[in-house]
């Protein structure tokens, strides 16, 4: 029998409610008694509250509350859960209260040595939080339930350039967290197509009794990014953008959320992108300027001229 199975068998014997001796465990599981002692030590080290009584009526038993304890989280797993809670708090995770309860259970049932070691590693990580509002958390909780149970919701939604909100009936497919914002992706009955909605722009939310069936092959992340980025439609209007620079900077540009979508080839000190001309001269100059002298435009020449124009406009603006 594998080691983990033997340890579980020992654990089940201990939780019977009666004291069990090492000899009884050895005979029951056909293990060497020294092996039983090693398993007892391993279980104790992992946080299992084993009580050891010596003497004529001695033996091993468990504390009564053990059945409620998070038993088999090792050191790395517990540390990772604490770290995940830190990042979840930064993202404005809507299940923060439940997550904090889970974390408190880990602390409650950890032995002193475990808690000391975990605290040392937890304190080594810190996330600098941005200013954010917790007002979306109740909305996110309702949306998450609607996504899981597949029922439609009515929302009052305000677009960025409109003063008044519009009423929508949507079938929420997925919730997405991107670029410090929460979004819900779903089928909009008003527009008769799948759309994305920023959760902080939902003014009212009302669950309905209408149900829906989410497409099996639907990918919320693919839909979101494909609609966020322009598509290359007219091949005659496509232009090559060739950049050179140091390896580290080029790698960062090639992984850029916008430019990375159009990457065609990459070498140690050069990268080629395919973009439409209007995108090239409208968006790209503002994306490249923050990199300063770390990169250089090889082609097209028109983009170099456009960069100069953008810089000239900035100089004139700040000189005026």
What are 248-305's pLDDT values in tens digits? 999 999 988 888 888 889 988 899 998 888 888 888 999 999 999 999 999 999 999 9
pLDDT confidence bin for 138, thresholds 50/70/90: confident
pLDDT confidence bin for 99, thresholds 50/70/90: confident
DSSP 8-state secondary structure symbol assigned to residue 230? P
The Cα–Cα gap between 182 and 22 comes to 55
Q: 40: helix, coil or strand?
A: helix
Taking Cα atoms as reference points, which of 239, 281, 244, 278 lies closest to residue 262? Answer: 239
The residues that bridge with 51 in the sheet, in sequence order, are 61
pLDDT tens digits for range 219-243: 888 888 777 766 665 556 788 999 9
Q: Does the structure show a pLDDT above 60 at 55?
A: yes
* Least confident residue range of 82-86, 117-121, 188-192, 245-249: 117-121
pLDDT confidence bin for 109, thresholds 50/70/90: low
Structure tokens at 153: 């919701």
pLDDT confidence bin for 162, thresholds 50/70/90: low
The Cα–Cα gap between 156 and 204 comes to 5
DSSP 8-state secondary structure symbol assigned to residue 107? H
Tell me which range, 101-110, 153-162, 203-212, 218-227, is most confidently predicted by mean pLDDT: 203-212
The Cα–Cα gap between 223 and 254 comes to 21
The Cα–Cα gap between 304 and 300 comes to 7
Q: What are the structural domains of the chain?
A: 3-68 (1.10.10.10), 75-122 (no CATH), 137-218 (2.30.30), 235-319 (3.30.70)
For residue 228, what pLDDT is reported? 73
Residue 132 makes CB contacts below 8 A (sequence gap 6+) with 92, 180
CA 314 vs CA 47, 217, 286, 289: distances in Å: 62, 47, 11, 11
């Amino acid at each position: 029998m594998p080691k983990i199975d033997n340890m579980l068998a020992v654990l089940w014997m201990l939780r019977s409610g009666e004291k069990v001796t090492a000899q009884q465990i050895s005979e029951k599981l056909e293990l060497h008694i020294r092996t039983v002692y090693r398993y007892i030590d391993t279980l104790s080290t992992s946080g299992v509250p084993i009580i050891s009584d010596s003497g004529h009526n001695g033996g091993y038993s468990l504390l009564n509350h053990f059945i409620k304890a998070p038993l088999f989280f090792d050191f790395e797993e517990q540390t990772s859960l604490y770290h995940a809670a830190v990042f979840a708090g930064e993202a404005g995770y809507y299940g923060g209260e439940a997550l904090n309860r889970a974390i408190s259970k880990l602390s409650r049932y950890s032995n002193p040595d475990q808690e000391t070691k975990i605290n040392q590693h937890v304190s080594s990580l810190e996330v600098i939080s941005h200013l954010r509002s917790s007002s979306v958390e109740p909305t996110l909780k309702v949306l998450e339930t609607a996504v899981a149970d597949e029922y439609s919701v009515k929302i009052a939604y305000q677009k960025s350039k409109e003063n008044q909100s519009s009423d929508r009936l949507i079938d929420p497919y997925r919730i997405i967290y991107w670029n410090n914002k929460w979004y819900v992706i779903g089928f909009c009955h008003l527009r008769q197509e799948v759309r994305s909605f920023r959760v902080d722009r939902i003014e009212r939310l009302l669950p309905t009794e209408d149900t829906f069936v989410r497409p099996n092959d639907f990918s919320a992340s693919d839909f979101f990014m494909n609609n966020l980025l322009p598509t290359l439609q007219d091949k005659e209007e496509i232009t090559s953008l060739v950049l050179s620079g140091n390896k580290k900077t080029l790698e960062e540009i090639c992984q850029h959320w916008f430019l990375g979508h159009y990457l065609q080839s990459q070498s140690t000190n050069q990268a080629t992108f395919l973009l439409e001309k209007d995108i090239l001269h409208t968006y790209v100059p503002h994306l490249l300027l923050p990199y300063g002298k770390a990169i250089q435009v090889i082609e097209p020449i028109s983009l170099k001229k456009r960069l100069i124009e953008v810089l000239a406009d900035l100089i004139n603006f700040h000189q005026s």
